[in-house]
């Protein structure tokens, strides 16, 4: 099942490893399914079926002009679940903007087949600064990101990933080689999809989706996340999701799947076993 057709005919690249209970891993912006590989391997080895896919416009998936919004993203997820026959006992794990797919699937598709959910460094319930979200990212900053992606996406991504993984003069949670790999993956995406997806995760308000989380939900977030501030997202998600478990990684940056990979894998496996 390397490719699944979205409802509009877009080809969606899917990796399907192992057997057993399905765990769907949804990647963040601007990466692809490969960012989840260490966790996918661990899940498959632990007896789960790890399913990861490239979001439309990214990685090996098709690059359509339209459909870069969360309703379509959730429909793409539904198409993948249907094609995989993953209709019961499914766990959804969304990183960063991938948390938005989890939230919108739960509301738009009624949480069909889902028994567990996890939001990892997620943008849910919303990242843009407002009266209701004073700790969010200022709209001017989101506008600046879009402009930089248009004028010199390659240069923007170089700096973005250093903040993403918390790389500085003293701290080096990931290697320069890993930064290069991340840049290469990001540049596989279409420029249009990269910009439109940034608008989607930057401006979508998932607050109305939160009551649809009727399943146990793990929320993991780094307190040092400079990309998706914890007070704007995870702390507000806790208020809106009834059956939640919040785990804060002290001082950790945004890219938890890499910088805190082993710990995240253990936490996911523990959560899924309960």
- The verdict on whether 88 is a catalytic residue reads no
- Count Cα atoms within 13 angstroms, Cβ side, for 56: 28
CA separation for the pair 92, 119 (Å, rounded): 9
Q: pLDDT tens digits for 8-44?
A: 999 999 999 999 999 999 999 999 999 999 999 999 9
Structure tokens at 106: 């739960």
Catalytic residue among 68, 76, 254, 267: 254
Which CATH architecture group holds 3-269? 3-Layer(aba) Sandwich (3.40)
Q: pLDDT tens digits for 43-73?
A: 999 999 999 999 999 999 999 999 999 999 9
Domain extents for the chain?
A: 3-269
- pTM here is 0.98
Catalytic residue among 61, 96, 122, 182: 96
* Residue closest to 8 by CA, chosen among 75, 95, 60: 75
Burial of 46 (0-12, 13-18, 19+ CB in 10 A): middle
CA distances from 67 to 2, 14, 28, 124, 195 (A): 21, 18, 17, 20, 13
- The verdict on whether 254 is a catalytic residue reads yes
Catalytic residue among 16, 76, 225, 267: 225
- The verdict on whether 172 is a catalytic residue reads no
């Amino acid at each position: 099942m390397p490719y699944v057709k979205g409802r509009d005919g877009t080809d969606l690249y899917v990796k399907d490893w192992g057997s057993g209970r399905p765990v769907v891993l949804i990647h963040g912006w601007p990466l692809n399914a490969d960012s989840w590989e260490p966790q996918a391997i661990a899940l498959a080895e632990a007896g789960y079926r790890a399913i990861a896919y490239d979001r439309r416009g990214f990685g090996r998936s098709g690059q359509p002009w339209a459909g870069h919004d969360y309703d379509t993203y959730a429909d793409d997820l539904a198409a993948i679940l249907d094609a995989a026959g993953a209709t019961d006992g499914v766990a959804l794990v969304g990183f960063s903007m991938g948390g938005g797919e989890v939230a919108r699937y739960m509301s738009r598709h009624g949480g069909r087949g889902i028994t567990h959910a996890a939001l990892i460094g997620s943008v849910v319930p919303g990242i843009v600064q407002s009266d209701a979200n004073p700790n969010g990212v200022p709209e001017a900053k989101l506008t600046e990101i879009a402009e930089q992606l248009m004028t010199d996406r390659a240069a923007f991504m170089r700096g973005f990933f250093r903040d993403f993984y918390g790389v500085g003069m003293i701290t080096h949670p990931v290697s320069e080689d890993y930064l290069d790999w991340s840049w290469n993956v990001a540049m596989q995406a279409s420029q249009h999809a990269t910009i439109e997806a940034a608008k989607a995760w930057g401006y979508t308000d998932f607050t109305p989706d939160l009551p649809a989380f009727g399943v146990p939900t793990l929320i993991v977030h780094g307190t040092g996340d400079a990309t998706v501030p914890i007070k704007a997202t995870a702390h507000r998600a806790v208020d809106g999701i009834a059956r939640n478990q919040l785990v804060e990684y002290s001082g950790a940056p945004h890219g938890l799947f890499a910088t805190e990979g082993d710990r995240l894998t253990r936490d996911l496996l523990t959560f899924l076993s309960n």
